[in-house]
């Protein structure tokens, strides 16, 4: 069964999420504090997706996100944000989250986001094999890993998918819609900005000088282009 961690200290919201995810066929592990979340992740190493509230009694969701991501590059992470926390979305994504859902959210919206994340973090890589080598970059599509000049670069599953899309399309301008459709899926109904934030984070990891990117260049008013 697909296992999800829900970290939320407000019992009413947590119950609402748990009931709806159970109904959608997920097994849900609950936590009310950051400490409980780490304990549950230790007990259940097969948790594939974590849903993290931001305001918590003992820590904040970004710190939890940072620690989970540092320990596990493959787990899917969705932040729960309030409408007033617009900037927090970006902060959350920069600390390693894959997606965010704004409160109040509908069960259908949350489930759709989780389903999409499961598809992306799934075993899609297992059916492919081989490597793509371009310039200093070596993308191993079997292990879903990236090396630059022989040194491993740790990527999240979303970053890997973006990188693969770029390396499959060298020199071609890709629109943000194309990237969103390929990486997040056509049924994803989030914002284009999520592509920008993930690409900003990817640049920090792969560019020689992230403030002056040369591999992932911006195509103004359209999207991005991969080149060497
Ligand atoms: Ca809270």
**Residue pLDDT tens, the chain, 228 long:** 789 999 999 999 999 999 999 988 899 999 999 999 999 999 999 899 999 999 999 999 999 999 999 888 889 999 888 766 655 666 667 778 888 888 888 888 898 889 888 877 654 433 445 888 888 999 998 888 999 999 999 999 899 999 999 999 988 999 999 999 888 887 776 788 889 999 999 999 999 999 999 999 999 999 999 988
Ligand 1 mean position, distance from CA 82 (Å)? 10
Contacts with 47 (C-beta within 8 Å, 6 or more apart), sequence order: 3, 4, 5, 29, 40, 41, 75
CA distance 205 to 127: 26
Identify whether 2 is preceded by a cis peptide bond (ω within 30 of 0): no
Nearest-5° Cα angle at 224, 202 to 122? 50
Task: Estimate to the nearest angstrom the gap between the alpha carbon of 37 and the chain centroid.
Answer: 18
Ligand 1 mean position, distance from CA 60 (Å)? 9
CA distance 206 to 147: 9
Q: What is the largest CA-CA distance in the chain?
A: 52
Q: What is the pTM of this model?
A: 0.62
CA distance 54 to 89: 10
Question: Residue 170: CA atoms inside 13 Å, Cβ hemisphere, count?
Answer: 10
DSSP H/E element including 136: none
- Look at the block and give the residue holding tokens 């934030």: 197
- Give me the sheet containing 3-7, strands edge to edge: 27-31, 3-7, 49-53, 76-82, 99-103
CA distance 94 to 30: 25
CA distance 62 to 96: 9
Ligand 1 mean position, distance from CA 80 (Å)? 9
Ligand 1 mean position, distance from CA 87 (Å)? 17
pLDDT for res 88: 61
What is the token pair recorded at 166? 């770029």
Ligand 1 mean position, distance from CA 48 (Å)? 22
Contact 81, 101 (CB under 8 A): yes
Ligand 1 mean position, distance from CA 160 (Å)? 31
Ligand 1 mean position, distance from CA 3 (Å)? 22
What is the token pair recorded at 61? 């969701």
Contact 73, 86 (CB under 8 A): no
Ligand 1 mean position, distance from CA 7 (Å)? 9
Ligand 1 mean position, distance from CA 8 (Å)? 6
């Amino acid at each position: 069964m697909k296992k999800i961690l829900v970290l939320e200290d407000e019992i009413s919201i947590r119950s609402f999420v748990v009931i709806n995810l159970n109904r959608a066929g997920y097994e849900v592990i609950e936590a009310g504090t950051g400490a409980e979340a780490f304990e549950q992740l230790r007990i259940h190493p097969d948790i594939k997706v974590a849903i993290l509230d931001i305001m918590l009694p003992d820590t904040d969701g970004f710190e939890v996100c940072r620690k989970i991501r540092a320990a596990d590059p493959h787990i899917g992470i969705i932040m729960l944000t309030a409408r007033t926390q617009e900037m927090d979305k970006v902060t959350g994504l920069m600390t390693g989250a894959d997606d965010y859902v704004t409160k109040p959210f509908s069960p259908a919206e949350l489930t759709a986001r989780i389903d999409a994340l499961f598809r992306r973090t799934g075993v899609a890589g297992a059916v492919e094999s081989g490597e793509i080598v371009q310039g200093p970059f070596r993308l191993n599509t079997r292990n879903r890993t990236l090396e630059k000049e022989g040194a491993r670069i740790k990527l999240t599953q979303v970053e890997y998918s973006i990188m693969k899309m770029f390396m499959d399309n060298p020199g071609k301008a890709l629109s943000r819609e194309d990237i969103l459709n390929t990486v997040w899926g056509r049924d994803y109904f989030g914002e284009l900005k999520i592509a920008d934030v993930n690409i900003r984070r990817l640049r920090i990891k792969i560019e020689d000088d992230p403030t002056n990117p040369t591999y992932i260049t911006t195509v103004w008013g359209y999207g991005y282009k991969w080149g060497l």
